[in-house]
Structure 1
Amino acid sequence: MNLPKFLLADNSASPEDIFVLHTEFPRFMINLKDDEIEWFEDLTGENEEDIATELADLMDKAGVFYDQEMKAYE
């Protein structure tokens, strides 16, 4: 099975939260409401500057993905 790079997720216990899952390395879930991130990878030993740059890019892409998905529902 080929997983999409991003997936939307929600939880009825947190109806105000908007979650986007990133399924490729580094795997994480971001809550777009407050930009809180839950990592599913151990990034110990990774170059912090590279990870910070990649994270900023992935956060932007997660937001773009969400916006595109919402346009599709309109």
Structure 2
Amino acid sequence: MELPKFLLGDNTDCAKDIFVIHTDFPRFIINLLDDEIEWLEDFQGEDQQELETQVATLIEEASEFYDREMERYGNE
């Protein structure tokens, strides 16, 4: 199975939170409510440095994905 790059996550225990799951490396879940990220990878040394340069771009891509999905829901 090929997963899309981003998925929306929902949980009624966290009704106000907006979760986006990034399925490519580096895998993570971001809560767009506060931009908190939970990494699903273990990083060390050089990986950590590369990750830090990608974080802003990944957050922006996740936000754009969410906005696009909400626009599509609104058009249905």
Q: TM-score range by the shorter chain?
A: over 0.9
Structure ranking higher in helix proportion: 2
Structure 2 spans left out of the alignment, 5+ residues: none
Q: Look up the equivalent residue of 1:18 and give its one-letter code.
A: I
TM-score, normalization: structure 1? Answer: 0.93
Q: How many residues align?
A: 74
Q: Helix, strand or coil: the match of 1:66?
A: helix
In the TM superposition, residue 45 of structure 1 has moved relative to its aligned partner by 2.2
**In structure 1, distance between residues paired with 2:46 and 2:4:** 24
Q: Helix, strand or coil: the match of 2:13?
A: coil
**In structure 2, distance between residues paired with 1:2 and 1:68:** 21
Structure 1 spans left out of the alignment, 5+ residues: none
Are 1:29 and 2:29 counterparts?
Answer: yes
TM-score, normalization: structure 2? Answer: 0.91
**Percentage identity across paired residues of the two chains:** 57
Aligned match of 1:66: 66
Give RMSD over aligned pairs.
1.0
